[in-house]
Amino acid sequence: MQSQHFSLPIRVYYQDTDAGGVVYHSTHLNFMERARYEWLRSLGFDVHELINTHKLQFMVRSIEIEYFRPAILDDLLHINVNVIDMGRSRISIAQEIQRDQTRLVNATVHVVCVSTESLRPIRIPPHLREKIETPT
């Protein structure tokens, strides 16, 4: 599968940091979630439409994460999204957080497409699969 690439710039604000101005480790997960949301939007899918019309949503199944360097107050970060694999109901996504060209965090996020009614895995719909598989 050819990789689907997306990057979201995010500025680090005071609320994202501890008293020393360093970004909390869990805040990186929020940044990555926001980037995945905006990635879906860039493909033409509104999350509310997926939930209300298509009766599906993506839920995180697992995350593998490594922290290399800290992000600090007022940094401009780029949160990258790259699809690395897609199964019947799951998508594996490589995410990286960078400041300039410096890698701060790497993660592999496995999400599963689930029914909003049962919260059980369902097949990724063909129209969504097609958009995800088309390289940008």
Residues with active-site annotation: 18
Alpha-carbon distance of 120 to 69, in angstroms, equals 37
Token pair in block for residue 66: 């490594």
User: What's 14's DSSP letter?
Assistant: G
Alpha-carbon distance of 75 to 13, in angstroms, equals 8
